[in-house]
Structure 1
Amino acid sequence: MSTGLIILLVVIVALLVVAALVTVLIGRRGDAGPGLKRRFGPEYERAVAAHDGDTQAAERELNERVERHGDLRERPLAREERDRYTARWTSVQEHFVESPRQAVAEADQLLGEIAAVRGYPDGGRYDEQLAALSVHHADHVDGYRRIHRMAGAAGAGAATGAGTEEMRSALVGAHELFDDLTGAGGDAAESGRHRAA
Protein backbone atom coordinates (compact mmCIF):
# COMPACT_ATOMS: atom_id res chain seq x y z
CA MET A 1 0.00 0.00 0.00
CA SER A 2 1.20 3.46 -0.78
CA THR A 3 1.76 6.06 1.93
CA GLY A 4 -0.90 8.31 0.43
CA LEU A 5 -3.54 5.54 0.61
CA ILE A 6 -2.67 4.78 4.25
CA ILE A 7 -2.98 8.47 5.16
CA LEU A 8 -6.33 8.67 3.36
CA LEU A 9 -7.66 5.62 5.26
CA VAL A 10 -6.48 7.06 8.61
CA VAL A 11 -8.18 10.38 7.86
CA ILE A 12 -11.43 8.63 6.86
CA VAL A 13 -11.43 6.50 10.03
CA ALA A 14 -10.69 9.57 12.16
CA LEU A 15 -13.59 11.46 10.55
CA LEU A 16 -15.94 8.53 11.17
CA VAL A 17 -14.89 8.39 14.84
CA VAL A 18 -15.40 12.15 15.25
CA ALA A 19 -18.83 11.94 13.54
CA ALA A 20 -19.86 9.10 15.86
CA LEU A 21 -18.76 11.04 18.95
CA VAL A 22 -20.61 14.16 17.83
CA THR A 23 -23.75 12.08 17.21
CA VAL A 24 -23.54 10.52 20.68
CA LEU A 25 -22.95 13.89 22.39
CA ILE A 26 -25.83 15.56 20.54
CA GLY A 27 -28.07 12.63 21.43
CA ARG A 28 -27.17 12.86 25.12
CA ARG A 29 -27.64 16.61 25.18
CA GLY A 30 -31.03 16.27 23.52
CA ASP A 31 -32.19 13.72 26.13
CA ALA A 32 -30.90 15.67 29.13
CA GLY A 33 -33.82 18.06 29.31
CA PRO A 34 -36.66 15.55 28.89
CA GLY A 35 -34.91 13.01 31.14
CA LEU A 36 -34.37 15.56 33.88
CA LYS A 37 -37.90 16.92 33.47
CA ARG A 38 -39.27 13.40 33.88
CA ARG A 39 -37.07 12.66 36.88
CA PHE A 40 -37.51 15.95 38.74
CA GLY A 41 -41.03 16.97 37.68
CA PRO A 42 -41.97 20.28 39.33
CA GLU A 43 -38.49 20.57 40.84
CA TYR A 44 -37.11 20.93 37.29
CA GLU A 45 -39.32 23.97 36.66
CA ARG A 46 -38.36 25.46 40.03
CA ALA A 47 -34.66 25.06 39.19
CA VAL A 48 -35.12 26.72 35.79
CA ALA A 49 -36.97 29.62 37.45
CA ALA A 50 -34.24 29.93 40.09
CA HIS A 51 -31.73 30.29 37.26
CA ASP A 52 -33.83 33.01 35.56
CA GLY A 53 -34.90 30.68 32.75
CA ASP A 54 -31.38 29.41 31.98
CA THR A 55 -32.17 25.74 31.34
CA GLN A 56 -28.53 24.77 30.87
CA ALA A 57 -27.57 26.17 34.28
CA ALA A 58 -30.60 24.49 35.89
CA GLU A 59 -29.76 21.18 34.24
CA ARG A 60 -26.15 21.43 35.40
CA GLU A 61 -27.39 21.95 38.97
CA LEU A 62 -29.82 19.03 38.75
CA ASN A 63 -27.18 16.76 37.22
CA GLU A 64 -24.81 17.68 40.07
CA ARG A 65 -27.51 16.71 42.56
CA VAL A 66 -27.92 13.34 40.86
CA GLU A 67 -24.15 12.78 40.87
CA ARG A 68 -23.90 13.64 44.60
CA HIS A 69 -27.03 11.89 45.85
CA GLY A 70 -28.25 9.47 43.17
CA ASP A 71 -26.62 6.46 44.80
CA LEU A 72 -28.08 7.20 48.23
CA ARG A 73 -29.92 4.20 49.64
CA GLU A 74 -32.73 5.00 52.03
CA ARG A 75 -32.66 3.06 55.27
CA PRO A 76 -36.05 1.43 55.78
CA LEU A 77 -38.02 2.33 58.89
CA ALA A 78 -39.01 -0.34 61.36
CA ARG A 79 -42.75 -0.57 62.05
CA GLU A 80 -42.22 0.89 65.54
CA GLU A 81 -40.36 3.89 64.10
CA ARG A 82 -43.06 4.44 61.49
CA ASP A 83 -45.79 4.27 64.16
CA ARG A 84 -43.90 6.69 66.40
CA TYR A 85 -43.42 9.19 63.56
CA THR A 86 -47.05 8.85 62.50
CA ALA A 87 -48.18 9.61 66.06
CA ARG A 88 -45.93 12.67 66.14
CA TRP A 89 -47.32 13.90 62.79
CA THR A 90 -50.87 13.45 64.10
CA SER A 91 -49.88 15.56 67.08
CA VAL A 92 -48.53 18.25 64.75
CA GLN A 93 -51.84 18.34 62.90
CA GLU A 94 -53.77 18.59 66.17
CA HIS A 95 -51.54 21.46 67.36
CA PHE A 96 -52.15 23.34 64.13
CA VAL A 97 -55.66 24.41 65.18
CA GLU A 98 -54.42 26.13 68.35
CA SER A 99 -50.94 27.18 67.27
CA PRO A 100 -50.28 27.10 63.50
CA ARG A 101 -46.77 28.59 63.74
CA GLN A 102 -45.71 26.07 66.39
CA ALA A 103 -47.14 23.21 64.31
CA VAL A 104 -45.23 24.41 61.24
CA ALA A 105 -41.98 24.47 63.27
CA GLU A 106 -42.69 20.98 64.62
CA ALA A 107 -43.42 19.66 61.11
CA ASP A 108 -40.17 21.15 59.80
CA GLN A 109 -38.18 19.56 62.61
CA LEU A 110 -39.93 16.20 62.20
CA LEU A 111 -39.30 16.04 58.44
CA GLY A 112 -35.62 16.85 58.93
CA GLU A 113 -35.35 14.17 61.60
CA ILE A 114 -37.07 11.46 59.52
CA ALA A 115 -34.95 12.30 56.48
CA ALA A 116 -31.77 11.99 58.56
CA VAL A 117 -32.91 8.66 60.00
CA ARG A 118 -33.64 7.41 56.48
CA GLY A 119 -30.03 8.21 55.48
CA TYR A 120 -30.22 11.69 53.99
CA PRO A 121 -27.74 14.36 55.10
CA ASP A 122 -28.44 15.62 58.61
CA GLY A 123 -31.12 18.31 58.94
CA GLY A 124 -28.47 20.71 60.27
CA ARG A 125 -27.31 20.87 56.66
CA TYR A 126 -30.74 21.73 55.31
CA ASP A 127 -29.66 22.74 51.78
CA GLU A 128 -27.76 19.50 51.28
CA GLN A 129 -30.62 17.48 52.76
CA LEU A 130 -33.12 19.20 50.48
CA ALA A 131 -30.92 18.58 47.42
CA ALA A 132 -30.70 14.87 48.27
CA LEU A 133 -34.43 14.63 48.91
CA SER A 134 -35.12 16.33 45.57
CA VAL A 135 -33.29 13.53 43.76
CA HIS A 136 -35.42 10.81 45.36
CA HIS A 137 -38.70 12.60 46.23
CA ALA A 138 -38.87 15.38 43.65
CA ASP A 139 -42.66 15.44 43.49
CA HIS A 140 -43.05 16.31 47.17
CA VAL A 141 -39.89 18.12 48.25
CA ASP A 142 -41.44 21.55 47.72
CA GLY A 143 -43.72 20.99 50.72
CA TYR A 144 -40.63 20.63 52.90
CA ARG A 145 -39.10 23.75 51.34
CA ARG A 146 -42.24 25.78 52.10
CA ILE A 147 -42.61 24.48 55.66
CA HIS A 148 -38.92 25.14 56.37
CA ARG A 149 -39.15 28.71 55.04
CA MET A 150 -42.21 29.41 57.20
CA ALA A 151 -40.65 27.83 60.28
CA GLY A 152 -37.56 30.00 59.78
CA ALA A 153 -39.65 33.14 59.46
CA ALA A 154 -41.62 32.26 62.60
CA GLY A 155 -38.40 31.44 64.47
CA ALA A 156 -36.93 34.79 63.46
CA GLY A 157 -39.92 36.49 65.06
CA ALA A 158 -41.28 37.86 61.82
CA ALA A 159 -44.28 39.98 62.75
CA THR A 160 -45.77 39.57 59.30
CA GLY A 161 -45.56 36.27 57.61
CA ALA A 162 -47.62 33.49 56.25
CA GLY A 163 -51.31 33.50 56.99
CA THR A 164 -53.05 30.50 58.48
CA GLU A 165 -54.30 29.29 55.09
CA GLU A 166 -50.82 29.48 53.59
CA MET A 167 -49.41 27.56 56.55
CA ARG A 168 -52.18 24.96 56.23
CA SER A 169 -51.39 24.53 52.53
CA ALA A 170 -47.68 24.14 53.29
CA LEU A 171 -48.46 21.57 55.98
CA VAL A 172 -50.55 19.58 53.49
CA GLY A 173 -47.66 19.65 51.01
CA ALA A 174 -45.21 18.63 53.72
CA HIS A 175 -47.51 15.74 54.66
CA GLU A 176 -47.01 14.30 51.17
CA LEU A 177 -43.25 14.13 51.78
CA PHE A 178 -43.90 12.71 55.24
CA ASP A 179 -45.95 9.93 53.64
CA ASP A 180 -43.15 9.25 51.15
CA LEU A 181 -40.50 9.06 53.86
CA THR A 182 -42.52 6.88 56.22
CA GLY A 183 -44.15 4.74 53.56
CA ALA A 184 -47.57 5.70 54.89
CA GLY A 185 -48.84 6.49 51.39
CA GLY A 186 -48.09 3.05 49.95
CA ASP A 187 -44.95 1.04 49.23
CA ALA A 188 -42.12 2.72 51.14
CA ALA A 189 -39.57 1.80 48.50
CA GLU A 190 -41.55 3.24 45.59
CA SER A 191 -43.75 5.99 47.00
CA GLY A 192 -42.60 9.35 45.66
CA ARG A 193 -39.45 7.96 44.09
CA HIS A 194 -38.10 9.49 40.92
CA ARG A 195 -39.78 8.36 37.78
CA ALA A 196 -36.74 7.84 35.59
CA ALA A 197 -33.40 6.28 36.29
Structure 2
Amino acid sequence: MDTWAWIVIAVVAAAIVVAVLALWGRRTRRRSRLRDRFGPEYDRAVSDSGRKRAERRLAEVDDEHAELEITPLSESARERYIEEWRRVEAHFVDEPYEAARSAERILQRALGERGYPTGRGAEHRTAHLAVDHPDVVERYRHGQAMLDAVRGPEGTENLRKAMLDFRAVFEEIVEPEPSLA
Protein backbone atom coordinates (compact mmCIF):
# COMPACT_ATOMS: atom_id res chain seq x y z
CA MET A 1 0.00 0.00 0.00
CA ASP A 2 1.20 3.44 -0.74
CA THR A 3 1.45 6.35 1.69
CA TRP A 4 -1.85 7.97 0.62
CA ALA A 5 -3.78 4.79 1.35
CA TRP A 6 -2.34 4.70 4.88
CA ILE A 7 -3.21 8.37 5.37
CA VAL A 8 -6.82 7.77 4.24
CA ILE A 9 -7.11 4.75 6.56
CA ALA A 10 -5.70 6.78 9.47
CA VAL A 11 -8.10 9.68 8.81
CA VAL A 12 -11.11 7.35 8.57
CA ALA A 13 -10.06 5.54 11.77
CA ALA A 14 -9.60 8.87 13.55
CA ALA A 15 -13.03 10.05 12.37
CA ILE A 16 -14.63 6.85 13.67
CA VAL A 17 -12.91 7.25 17.05
CA VAL A 18 -14.04 10.89 17.27
CA ALA A 19 -17.62 9.94 16.35
CA VAL A 20 -17.71 7.15 18.96
CA LEU A 21 -16.30 9.47 21.64
CA ALA A 22 -18.83 12.18 20.72
CA LEU A 23 -21.70 9.70 20.93
CA TRP A 24 -20.46 8.37 24.25
CA GLY A 25 -20.08 11.92 25.59
CA ARG A 26 -23.59 12.82 24.45
CA ARG A 27 -25.07 9.78 26.18
CA THR A 28 -23.11 10.52 29.34
CA ARG A 29 -24.31 14.15 29.38
CA ARG A 30 -27.91 13.06 28.75
CA ARG A 31 -27.71 10.48 31.53
CA SER A 32 -26.23 13.04 33.91
CA ARG A 33 -28.88 15.63 33.00
CA LEU A 34 -31.71 13.13 33.53
CA ARG A 35 -30.24 11.96 36.83
CA ASP A 36 -29.93 15.57 38.04
CA ARG A 37 -33.40 16.48 36.79
CA PHE A 38 -35.29 13.48 38.17
CA GLY A 39 -33.23 12.67 41.26
CA PRO A 40 -34.22 9.39 42.95
CA GLU A 41 -36.92 8.86 40.31
CA TYR A 42 -34.17 8.23 37.74
CA ASP A 43 -32.71 5.36 39.79
CA ARG A 44 -36.15 3.88 40.43
CA ALA A 45 -37.04 4.03 36.73
CA VAL A 46 -33.74 2.39 35.73
CA SER A 47 -34.17 -0.40 38.27
CA ASP A 48 -37.77 -0.98 37.10
CA SER A 49 -37.24 -1.07 33.35
CA GLY A 50 -33.53 -0.90 32.53
CA ARG A 51 -31.36 2.07 31.67
CA LYS A 52 -32.18 2.45 27.98
CA ARG A 53 -35.95 2.18 28.35
CA ALA A 54 -36.02 4.35 31.49
CA GLU A 55 -33.91 7.08 29.93
CA ARG A 56 -36.09 7.13 26.84
CA ARG A 57 -39.26 7.41 28.96
CA LEU A 58 -37.79 10.08 31.25
CA ALA A 59 -36.55 12.08 28.26
CA GLU A 60 -40.07 11.97 26.82
CA VAL A 61 -41.53 13.16 30.12
CA ASP A 62 -38.90 15.92 30.29
CA ASP A 63 -39.74 17.08 26.75
CA GLU A 64 -43.48 16.99 27.48
CA HIS A 65 -42.92 18.78 30.79
CA ALA A 66 -41.05 21.61 29.06
CA GLU A 67 -44.25 22.41 27.16
CA LEU A 68 -46.44 22.60 30.27
CA GLU A 69 -47.23 25.89 31.96
CA ILE A 70 -46.53 25.11 35.60
CA THR A 71 -47.50 28.09 37.72
CA PRO A 72 -47.60 28.73 41.45
CA LEU A 73 -50.98 28.78 43.13
CA SER A 74 -52.58 32.15 43.67
CA GLU A 75 -52.61 33.28 47.28
CA SER A 76 -56.38 32.73 47.51
CA ALA A 77 -56.10 29.22 46.04
CA ARG A 78 -53.23 28.46 48.39
CA GLU A 79 -55.26 29.56 51.42
CA ARG A 80 -58.28 27.58 50.18
CA TYR A 81 -56.19 24.40 49.86
CA ILE A 82 -54.58 24.91 53.28
CA GLU A 83 -57.98 25.31 54.91
CA GLU A 84 -59.32 22.25 53.10
CA TRP A 85 -56.23 20.28 54.21
CA ARG A 86 -56.80 21.26 57.85
CA ARG A 87 -60.38 20.00 57.67
CA VAL A 88 -59.24 16.69 56.17
CA GLU A 89 -56.59 16.20 58.87
CA ALA A 90 -59.15 16.95 61.59
CA HIS A 91 -61.48 14.40 60.01
CA PHE A 92 -58.78 11.68 60.12
CA VAL A 93 -59.59 10.55 63.68
CA ASP A 94 -63.21 9.74 62.83
CA GLU A 95 -62.82 8.52 59.23
CA PRO A 96 -59.16 7.73 58.49
CA TYR A 97 -59.75 6.07 55.12
CA GLU A 98 -61.97 8.86 53.78
CA ALA A 99 -59.55 11.49 55.12
CA ALA A 100 -56.57 9.87 53.39
CA ARG A 101 -58.50 9.55 50.10
CA SER A 102 -59.55 13.19 50.42
CA ALA A 103 -55.94 14.21 51.02
CA GLU A 104 -54.93 12.42 47.82
CA ARG A 105 -57.71 14.18 45.90
CA ILE A 106 -56.63 17.58 47.27
CA LEU A 107 -53.11 16.90 46.02
CA GLN A 108 -54.39 15.90 42.60
CA ARG A 109 -56.53 19.04 42.32
CA ALA A 110 -53.68 21.30 43.47
CA LEU A 111 -51.33 19.69 40.94
CA GLY A 112 -53.91 20.16 38.21
CA GLU A 113 -54.47 23.79 39.14
CA ARG A 114 -50.73 24.42 38.99
CA GLY A 115 -50.63 22.96 35.46
CA TYR A 116 -49.45 19.40 35.97
CA PRO A 117 -51.12 16.77 33.76
CA THR A 118 -53.96 14.93 35.45
CA GLY A 119 -55.53 12.68 32.84
CA ARG A 120 -53.13 9.84 32.02
CA GLY A 121 -52.88 8.01 35.31
CA ALA A 122 -50.93 8.07 38.52
CA GLU A 123 -47.58 7.01 37.05
CA HIS A 124 -47.66 9.78 34.43
CA ARG A 125 -48.59 12.36 37.09
CA THR A 126 -45.84 11.06 39.36
CA ALA A 127 -43.22 11.31 36.60
CA HIS A 128 -44.11 14.96 36.01
CA LEU A 129 -44.07 15.68 39.72
CA ALA A 130 -40.53 14.23 39.80
CA VAL A 131 -39.30 16.83 37.32
CA ASP A 132 -39.91 19.76 39.66
CA HIS A 133 -40.07 18.03 43.02
CA PRO A 134 -37.67 15.07 42.98
CA ASP A 135 -37.22 15.18 46.75
CA VAL A 136 -40.87 14.42 47.57
CA VAL A 137 -42.01 12.29 44.66
CA GLU A 138 -41.13 9.10 46.50
CA ARG A 139 -43.31 10.27 49.41
CA TYR A 140 -46.18 10.71 46.94
CA ARG A 141 -45.66 7.22 45.57
CA HIS A 142 -45.33 5.75 49.08
CA GLY A 143 -48.49 7.52 50.25
CA GLN A 144 -50.42 6.01 47.36
CA ALA A 145 -49.02 2.55 48.17
CA MET A 146 -49.98 2.91 51.83
CA LEU A 147 -53.47 3.98 50.85
CA ASP A 148 -53.79 0.94 48.57
CA ALA A 149 -52.46 -1.36 51.32
CA VAL A 150 -55.29 -0.78 53.78
CA ARG A 151 -55.99 -4.26 55.09
CA GLY A 152 -56.28 -5.85 58.48
CA PRO A 153 -55.16 -4.34 61.77
CA GLU A 154 -52.26 -2.43 60.18
CA GLY A 155 -54.75 -0.52 58.03
CA THR A 156 -54.96 2.53 60.28
CA GLU A 157 -51.17 2.69 60.53
CA ASN A 158 -50.91 2.59 56.74
CA LEU A 159 -53.44 5.40 56.50
CA ARG A 160 -51.45 7.44 59.03
CA LYS A 161 -48.30 6.92 56.94
CA ALA A 162 -50.20 7.91 53.79
CA MET A 163 -51.36 11.13 55.46
CA LEU A 164 -47.81 11.97 56.56
CA ASP A 165 -46.47 11.32 53.07
CA PHE A 166 -49.24 13.32 51.42
CA ARG A 167 -48.66 16.19 53.86
CA ALA A 168 -44.97 16.39 52.86
CA VAL A 169 -45.97 16.58 49.20
CA PHE A 170 -48.79 19.01 49.92
CA GLU A 171 -46.48 21.40 51.74
CA GLU A 172 -44.08 21.39 48.81
CA ILE A 173 -46.84 21.87 46.21
CA VAL A 174 -48.71 24.72 47.89
CA GLU A 175 -45.79 26.68 49.28
CA PRO A 176 -45.32 30.03 47.59
CA GLU A 177 -42.54 30.29 45.04
CA PRO A 178 -39.41 31.94 46.46
CA SER A 179 -39.09 35.54 45.38
CA LEU A 180 -36.26 36.35 43.05
CA ALA A 181 -35.35 39.58 44.80
Q: Find the counterpart in structure 2 of residue 57 from structure 1.
A: 53
User: By how many angstroms is 1:80 displaced?
Assistant: 0.4
User: By how many angstroms is 1:81 displaced?
Assistant: 0.6
- 2:92 equivalent among 84, 93, 96: 96
Q: Find the counterpart in structure 1 of residue 178 from structure 2.
A: 187
Give the % identical residues: 33
List per-residue Cα deviations over 1:48-99 (Å, max 9, x = no partner). 3323xx3333333322221222343312211101100111111122122222
Q: Find the counterpart in structure 2 of residue 175 from structure 1.
A: 167
Q: What does 1:1-197 correspond to in 2, within 5 Å?
A: 5=4, 13-51=11-49, 54-123=50-119, 125-151=121-147, 153=148, 159-160=151-152, 163-183=155-175, 187=178
List per-residue Cα deviations over 1:173-197 (Å, max 9, x = no partner). 222221222125x6289xxxxxxxx
Alpha carbons of structure 1 residues 127 and 161: separation in structure 2 relative to 1, 3 Å = farther
Matched length: 178
Alpha carbons of structure 1 residues 73 and 43: separation in structure 2 relative to 1, 3 Å = same
Where do 5+ consecutive residues of structure 2 fail to align? none
> Given the two structures, how large is their TM-score scaled by the length of structure 2?
0.78
Alpha carbons of structure 1 residues 49 and 124: separation in structure 2 relative to 1, 3 Å = closer
AA at the equivalent of 1:173: D
Task: Name which of structure 1's ranges 127-136 and 32-41 shifts more when overlaid on structure 2.
Answer: 32-41
AA at the equivalent of 1:69: H
Contact 2:71-2:115 at 8 Å conserved across structures: yes
Contact 1:143-1:175 at 8 Å conserved across structures: no
List per-residue Cα deviations over 1:109-144 (Å, max 9, x = no partner). 111111111111125643322222122222212232
Contact 2:144-2:162 at 8 Å conserved across structures: no
How far apart, CA to CA, are the structure 1 residues paired with 2:100 and 2:179? Answer: 24
Contact 2:143-2:163 at 8 Å conserved across structures: yes
Task: Name which of structure 1's ranges 116-125 and 84-93 shifts more when overlaid on structure 2.
Answer: 116-125
Structure 1 vs Structure 2 CA RMSD: 3.0
Task: Name which of structure 1's ranges 164-173 and 83-92 shifts more when overlaid on structure 2.
Answer: 164-173
How far apart, CA to CA, are the structure 2 residues paired with 1:62 and 1:161? Answer: 38
AA at the equivalent of 1:88: E
Contact 1:180-1:188 at 8 Å conserved across structures: no
Task: Name which of structure 1's ranges 138-147 and 73-82 shifts more when overlaid on structure 2.
Answer: 138-147
Contact 2:129-2:137 at 8 Å conserved across structures: yes
